[in-house]
Amino acid sequence: MNRLFDEPIPPCPRCEQTTALPIVYGDASTEMVTAARLGQIVLGGVATEGDMPAWMCPCGNRYED
C-alpha cells in the first residue's frame, strides 16, 4: 500500500508511538471516506477556526507536528 503523505509521522507526545494517522479536514469526498474506512486517514470534519490537530494516535491523542 502506498502512503498518502510523504512526511514522516511525528511521535505522539503522550505515548511516543509513530503510528498516528493524518487528520484530513473538509467535506469528505468518496475517496476520503474510502481512505478512512481503510484506516489510512482520520476524517476531521469541517475545518473551523482554532484547534485543528494534524495527527491522531492509536492511543486516542490528537496532536500537531
* pLDDT tens digits along 4-63: 567 789 999 999 999 999 999 999 999 999 999 999 999 999 888 788 999 999 999 999
Residue the block writes with cell 508511538 = 17
What pLDDT, on the 0 to 100 scale, is given for residue 3? 56
What pLDDT, on the 0 to 100 scale, is given for residue 24? 94
What pLDDT, on the 0 to 100 scale, is given for residue 1? 39
Provide the pLDDT confidence category of residue 65 given band limits of 50, 70 and 90: confident
Distance linking the first and last C-alpha atoms of the chain: 23
On the CB side of 64, CA atoms within 13 Å amount to 3
The candidate with the shortest Cα–Cα distance to 25, out of 11, 37, 36, is 36
